[in-house]
Structure 1
């Protein structure tokens, strides 16, 4: 596998396979939403679009980065989301980095959204697809977020070498700027367990695949059996 690691702004062409990584917290939250029973996640381009979708579908659950806001049901926090019953629900998600990165590559033939909680399943899916060139989109901090780069590099390594040790990659994520800001309360809409939940390796057995459905970018879980 030929792995490329790019920030969202560095994308110059549509990749054949894109793995969009946001560890803290968009795609950890997305995985938790599926773990809590959500059927699908619609990735919104803006807060206004998220609210408009919510207004048209009153039973959908809308979430965003930062503090609570009118019209939104919750915030982008795995610690808060894990107590919600989302069985059969549709979630609308708008975040600062993760959803932006996914929408930037929405035309790619295969788009996966990833974090540590689905790293193993993501690597297995890439391996079974026999992917040649894979573009890992590092979404945080304009492509410089070390927690996202560490996760991307870990998934790339585990795709070719299933026994790749996660310890050093998790350490980098734990010491990242994002982890520090979450732990210190610099970022809003935070639960005390968010960092620990974002560093939980392979909690969920599925990968997350984004496709186009009726002009919307929709994320769904894709079961990938362990070997």
Structure 2
């Protein structure tokens, strides 16, 4: 597999959509998405703007709308895994709008396969990529215009796991733990934060599913996809 690592601005200059894209947002969009599925959410609609999220919520009052930053009128939750992990989302639809993660996913909506990932679903994501046997995979490093070390570390970890299934997560997690995003969350620079958010974002391979985004009508919808371990594979 030939991995390519790009930021969101790079996608605008590409002549065509990538065939396979892995959109990485560790802190915190796709950690939150994974927790939402763990808490029972059926699907996540990735909104292109706060106004779109609010409009979807207005049309579907039973949907759960969440955003980055502090709580705001019209939104039910904030983009924090620590806060979301105690919420019952059984059978619900979540509308998610974040600064980087949802933007990155929408930027590659025309790809034949779009996976959204953080460390918590890294192995399942790598396993799905192994089954696809794709020659080229574009990893979208969403934070800081492609320079966010927590996202790049996660993208590189997933890429390595595709070809070397026993790759250890330790060094990649240490890079992410030392990132600017981790420091800002720990120091309270960002709003809508739980004290456990950084630790929850750095739990490698916690969930056994990958997250696949695809257009359903006019909406980009994220759903979990179970990726069982091959028979005889020993967990790392």
Q: TM-score range by the shorter chain?
A: over 0.9
Instruction: Tell me the TM-score normalised to structure 1 length.
Output: 0.99
- Work out the CA distance in 2 between the residues paired with 1:89 and 1:132: 36
Match of 1:71 among 71, 74, 78: 74
Q: What is the aligned length?
A: 227
- Work out the CA distance in 2 between the residues paired with 1:219 and 1:132: 24
- Note the alpha carbon deviations across 1:12-68, whole angstroms, 9 max, x for none: 130000000000000000000000000000000000000000000000000000000
Alignment of 1:49-68 (within 5 A): 49-68=52-71
Which residue number corresponds to residue 154 of structure 2? 151
Alignment of 1:75-154 (within 5 A): 75-154=78-157
Which residue number corresponds to residue 9 of structure 2? 9
Which residue number corresponds to residue 192 of structure 1? 195
- Work out the CA distance in 2 between the residues paired with 1:91 and 1:193: 22
Alignment of 1:143-222 (within 5 A): 143-222=146-225
> Once the 2 structures are TM-superposed, how far is the Cα of residue 226 of structure 1 from its aligned partner?
1.8
> Once the 2 structures are TM-superposed, how far is the Cα of residue 214 of structure 1 from its aligned partner?
1.4
Which residue number corresponds to residue 233 of structure 2? none
CA RMSD of aligned residues (A): 0.4
> Once the 2 structures are TM-superposed, how far is the Cα of residue 165 of structure 1 from its aligned partner?
1.2
> Once the 2 structures are TM-superposed, how far is the Cα of residue 110 of structure 1 from its aligned partner?
0.2
- Work out the CA distance in 1 between the residues paired with 2:115 and 2:227: 13
Is 2:30 the counterpart of 1:27?
yes
Query: Could you list the runs of 5+ residues in structure 1 that have no partner in the other structure?
Result: none
- Work out the CA distance in 2 between the residues paired with 1:131 and 1:161: 15
Instruction: Tell me the TM-score normalised to structure 2 length.
Output: 0.96
> Once the 2 structures are TM-superposed, how far is the Cα of residue 179 of structure 1 from its aligned partner?
0.2
Query: Could you list the runs of 5+ residues in structure 2 that have no partner in the other structure?
Result: 231-236
Moved over 6 A (4+): none
